[in-house]
Structure 1
């Protein structure tokens, strides 16, 4: 028996547009497809249907993915904020496509790459400068700085879409590659494996790329490559940590061998403990963490600063998790928060923020503490090093 002729119709949408919801419903009614393909992965599909996957916050802290998850939740919050302003839930057009397909007993195909792989590739490929720019842009969106009126329905127009994508490429080439180009190829590849009359509901920003790959399947990259989380490059944070560690050890050796009095050494140690502890604990306070978490950050920061393999924020975050005991309900609430204050009150977001800000405070404390210790002891590091090099070499 011959296979039915395959026809793929792409419906480009804006993810927070009422017009897009109507267009999706109209396309399914008129085209009567055999398959409705949606730009979702299993995890996003479950979230859209109100089913939340269990997440171990302790495992997140231990894995070192705190900043990635924070960024993901902040980006999702900004999208919800835009949707609220327009009176449309983010992803409403995808939900409309799913509901329409289920009502008509039409097969549903989830054709997007797993969100976890996308976010890990996105975070891993971005340069530090790009991450900072994106973080500041998200914060500006949350607090409403520099907001411009956007005609959201015009976002599905080809010229506008091209302008927005080019702007993203200028802003962050790495983000554009992972969020646009790789997913264009992935979605096109998934569509090519479907048969029958297919309506594919995708973001307008993916239309041109998907069409290009459908016309020329040989242009699609190896799926093995874009479905894999890349091995971590040299971790700048770890490299910086080892550099600070080496500098501190050298400073300690110089202090011990330079004849500094025990009184000055103890004074320097006191400054080191207090400066590291206070700044790390301040990060917890800014995050509105529990006093026990702040006390933990204060207690461990001075020693974690000497070891690049551990971080004060990990300990503070784990204590915060123990105190808050987050539940699946908290995760559901985090997905639906509507205001910055609700975001900050959510136990899961608070734990992540405590971890991140305690770490940042500890890094600042390490740099400031090293500077003050050198000044307190009155040691001329350059002179001592020159003297040591002369004697040893």
Structure 2
């Protein structure tokens, strides 16, 4: 697609002026294609909400497991911060994208979804962050619910977009993650626009992407291969995973050697069960869980702590979810809270807190087994 066929509009996602600008540009230019900064999942959710369709139940098991929890928390934080700005300015976040889609339907134009899948974007961003940067981000999530900072000037927002306008501190906190959120998406959306063959296009994107997309459209030879923007690269084995796998393995080896040497390990096994189970129970109950969830944490912890692919929090979280009757409404409402008190009242948040609390407790219990169980056994095996 030649650049002259493209009308690129940079918007603030919570600006009334942006909604009017989008509608006016589409009606004036009468394009064949209206391209919007949405992926398929966000587009479908937006259409479902517009049409008043029933909400589907969330797959809590998928959220709890693996890196899905991290992605959910990041997404929740971004949604919360954007809604906070939108409430102040009286505009629902993403209204200009909906206006673009509606206006395209009015004039008979096709709609092109040009943004990369948000889950992939967040996975790549999280992958780029160090442990310290992740801790800072978690701190930012927590403090955001206690912040009373107000947003007064919409023009100060128009330098960003849905994933970055409320996350400018990412530049300083994690430049590599910021690059994923902004520069990579500039390149991806430019690729998608170039795939549109010789049609007149009005593209609606966050203002923070306008400069980068314009540069790529004028100099497409500078674009990175699109395959590089769609893969998750693991350049090295994470230290955290090495530790995660090695500690249970060492523990099992020490126990096996003790048994082979005829050493009575009954007391050591009881201590291991009590340490991992008790601290998992405490981590769970201190996170505000139901008693049955905490009991589940106690029972499964001794097994999950020596199995690197399982986590005690998954099981206590699932029990907690069943007792709290989690629904899609909880997922929707979690981004609408205005204070930590309201957040505490959200059932989904409480379940996620139980997951994290249980896993922290189990980890503490496992590490305490090193001086209290593993090292004494090691001494008996090799000390005679």
> What TM bracket, shorter-length normalisation?
0.7 to 0.9
Q: What residue number does 1:314 align with?
A: 314
TM-score of the pair, normalised by structure 1: 0.80
Taking the aligned partners of 2:294 and 2:377, their CA distance within structure 1 comes to 35
Q: What do residues 296-333 of structure 1 show as CA deviations (whole Å, max 9, x unaligned)? A: 11222233222323211121122223334433444444
The aligned counterpart of 2:37 is 39
Please, which of 175, 186, 189 is the counterpart of residue 188 of structure 2?
186
1:300–1:312 contact (8 Å) kept in structure 2:
yes
Equivalent position of 1:359 in the other structure: 359
Offset of residue 259 of structure 1 = 10
Match of 2:26 in 1: 28
- TM-score normalized with structure 2 length: 0.82
Residue 64 (structure 2) aligned to one of 61, 65, 68:
61
Residue 116 of structure 1 corresponds to 119
Aligned residue-pair number: 375
- Any unmatched runs of 5+ in structure 2? none
Paired with 1:78 and 1:166, the residues of 2 have a C-alpha distance of 12
Among 200, 203, 210, the alignment partner of 1:200 is 203
Could you tell me which residue of structure 1 aligns to residue 178 of structure 2?
A: 176
After superposing the two structures, state which structure 1 stretch, 177-186 or 356-365, moved more: 356-365
Paired position in structure 2 for 1:18: 16
* 1:296/1:149 CA distance change after superposition, 3 Å: same
CA deviation after TM superposition for structure 1 residue 111, in Å: 1.0
Is contact 1:41–1:110 with CA below 8 Å preserved after alignment? yes
Secondary structure of the structure 1 residue equivalent to 2:201: strand
Closer/same/farther in 2, CA of residues 308 and 153 from structure 1, 3 Å limit: same
Does the 8 A contact of 2:159 with 2:208 survive in 1? Answer: no
2: CA distance, partners of 1:84 / 1:302: 47
Of 127, 130, 134 in structure 2, the residue corresponding to residue 127 of structure 1 is 130
Taking the aligned partners of 1:229 and 1:30, their CA distance within structure 2 comes to: 41
Distance 1:67 1:307, change over 3 A: same
How far 1:43 sits from its partner (Å)? Answer: 0.8
Distance 2:83 2:299 in 1: 38
Which residue in the other structure is 1:298 paired with? 298
CA RMSD of aligned residues (A): 3.6
Q: Where does the alignment leave 5 or more consecutive residues of structure 1 unmatched?
A: none
Q: Deviation of residue 243 (structure 1)?
A: 2.8
Tell me the distance in 2 between the aligned counterparts of 1:20 and 1:282. Answer: 50
Cα deviations by residue, 1:335-359 (Å, 9 ceiling, x for unpaired):
5555544444444443333222211
Partner residue, 2:157: 155
